[in-house]
Structure 1
Amino acid sequence: MKDNYILTAESVTAGHPDKLCDTIADSILDACLKEDPNARVACEVLATAGKILAAGELRTTASPDVETIVRQTVQRAGYDCNYHVEVRLHTQSPDIAGAVDGDTLGAGDQGIMYGYACWETVELLPAPVVLANRITSLLTTCREEKLVSGIGPDGKAQVSVQYAFGVPERVDTIVISCQHDADKDPDELRGELRRLVIDRACHDVRI
């Protein structure tokens, strides 16, 4: 193990486009499973200027109202509904169905996951992960409770922690990306985020 190194983690708010699209896809899946526990759902969502596209394959007896699901999810994330929703969901292809049915199951998708539990925090997660999640949670609270004016739903935090012999020693760098109004004073916003987000998130660590 290296005696001195830095680990970095990132977290995003509910209004970040990546998170928003994942939440919409999850909500479509939930709606299908609520009506049909055996539903097969492969749904991808894309968001761009003025449009949200939900596409993929379904095999289910459920009939989810996809456009309503999209609009409700987007509204919960903090956005208005001034956009077009396009739905391109069709029946699951026979080739895919054949691979995931029967006694011998194939893989419908593949992925590599990396992560670990540890004793660094009470959450049993690495310190950079916990701090990044705290920051985005507080950022959302500041917007929803109007503690900070002029900020939007899209936000991201990146936290780098310096380690010595496997133990977190200090926070090296914190980067916050925050959607805000064009006339929001940068120095004012920086001070508010330091006081209401960073200081609260890192109250029990050394910066």
Structure 2
Amino acid sequence: MVSHPHCFICCYILPEPVYLPKVDAPQISDAIVDRFLQQDPYARVITECAASTGIVFIAARFAPNTNVDFTNIARQVIDHVGYEQKEFNGRNCSILTSLKELPLDQYHLFDEHKLSDAEIEQITVTNQVTVFGFACNQTSVLMPLPIWLAHKLARQISEVRKQNILSYLTPDGKTQVGVEYKNRRPDRIHSITVVASQRKAGKPELQQLHDDIRDTIIYPVFADEEIKPDDKTRIFINPDGEFIVGGPAVHSGLTGRKNAIDTYGEYSKHSGSALSGKDPIRIDRVGAYIARYAAKNIVAANLADECEVQLSYSIGLSRPVSVQVETFGTGKISDEDLTILLEKHFDFRLAGILQQFNLRHLPSLTKGGFYQKLAAYGHVGRTDIELPWEKTDKVGVF
């Protein structure tokens, strides 16, 4: 972020580019989580994945009594994403696994929907983490404008490829958006970067690629946006020249590397823990969801223009040891009063989160799985799938 304090204008450029849903290790990891929970909603699994040229490595720890074909799931994800090139495809890439069974865990074999409040209080977390949730009124989904626009561009690239509008595109790509702010509000589009991968060198030529990307991706994305590119907006399309094939054949992927893209584009803080690859017993995953839920409801209730909720959990306790609210001077009431309201009306306990969001049963209730869909285009601010933490059904408690 480059600031200009004397004129109260700043330019926020998404620190990391948003990547298209290539064989992003998180997609494979969350597809495995889905498969475990579809077979048994009380299954335990923690999995990580790395992808590189011609190879995928999966490391997983899981509870027994489930039958999951890790290799087949990985190949299905690769095919679904669309990699067909000889450098990397689901048919002949090598898949290595390092699998370890966890001891049978009776402690987490509870049905959260049958627990009393006293019993929920007895379910403690087994790992420690500080998670963050954020919301602001810059967009209709209460997300920061730069990450919202970057995800829209990424989606559009995928759409024009899948619909064969630009048949030369492959699944890999990146987007980045810079937004100038004036008095904490988006004022203009500073810059747009799109990197799109091609099947073959020289096809099309770079100028044709530039024209195609502008006409079919950038202009349609901004057509219904209130703030549009102007004559001073800098537009970069494949600024390093041709980008051939892309994906694991060019750069490796690893679960958890892009937490900022999964959340708020570093406009707000985020936990250092990966969100993907973990069953819902992990508080470092579901805690981030309940924190977003709390922050979004505060902004939706018009109690703040921006809100960040921080929750800190310690091993052996059911409730967070710390709940903090920061509204950056935009709150209609004090941050301390908002914190009191959150602790009174929101259940931040592990079993309470599972109960309210039904997180262990969503993979079997959602066609095509649930968690894998979060591994591309973000875990928050989604409009294409129904996420329980995106509801604003708590505005009435404030």
TM-score normalised by the shorter chain: which range applies? Answer: 0.7 to 0.9
Per the alignment, residue 201 of structure 1 pairs with: 221
Q: Which sections of structure 1, spanning at least 5 residues, go unmatched? A: none
CA distance in 1, matches of 2:180, 2:202: 36
Per the alignment, residue 88 of structure 1 pairs with: 98
Question: Given the alignment, which residue of 177, 192, 206 partners 1:159?
Answer: 177
Q: What is the letter of the counterpart of residue 43 of structure 1?
A: T
TM-score w.r.t. length of structure 2: 0.47
CA deviations on 1:81-140 (whole Å, 9 max, x unpaired) are 23111121111269xx69989956343464644x52222212221111111011000000
CA distance in 1, matches of 2:193, 2:139: 21
1:99-110 alignment, distance < 5 Å: 105-108=124-127, 110=129
1:177-192 alignment, distance < 5 Å: 177-180=195-198, 181-184=200-203, 185-192=205-212
User: Which structure is higher in strand share?
Assistant: 1
Per the alignment, residue 78 of structure 1 pairs with: 82
Q: What is the letter of the counterpart of residue 118 of structure 1?
A: C
Per the alignment, residue 38 of structure 1 pairs with: 42
1:94-173 alignment, distance < 5 Å: 105-108=124-127, 110=129, 112-113=131-132, 116-173=134-191
1:18-57 alignment, distance < 5 Å: 20-57=24-61
Let me know the Cα RMSD of the aligned residues.
2.4
Q: Which sections of structure 2, spanning at least 5 residues, go unmatched? A: 85-89, 111-121, 230-398
SS in 1 for 2:98: strand
Change (3 A) 1:124 1:7: same
The answer as to whether partners of 2:59 and 2:99 remain within 8 angstroms in 1 is yes
Which of structure 1's runs of 4+ aligned residues deviate more than 6 A? 97-102
CA distance in 2, matches of 1:160, 1:42: 35
1:56-75 alignment, distance < 5 Å: 56-75=60-79
CA distance in 2, matches of 1:175, 1:109: 37
CA distance in 1, matches of 2:107, 2:180: 46
Change (3 A) 1:168 1:137: same
TM-score w.r.t. length of structure 1: 0.87
CA deviations on 1:1-23 (whole Å, 9 max, x unpaired) are 952112233422111x4xx2101
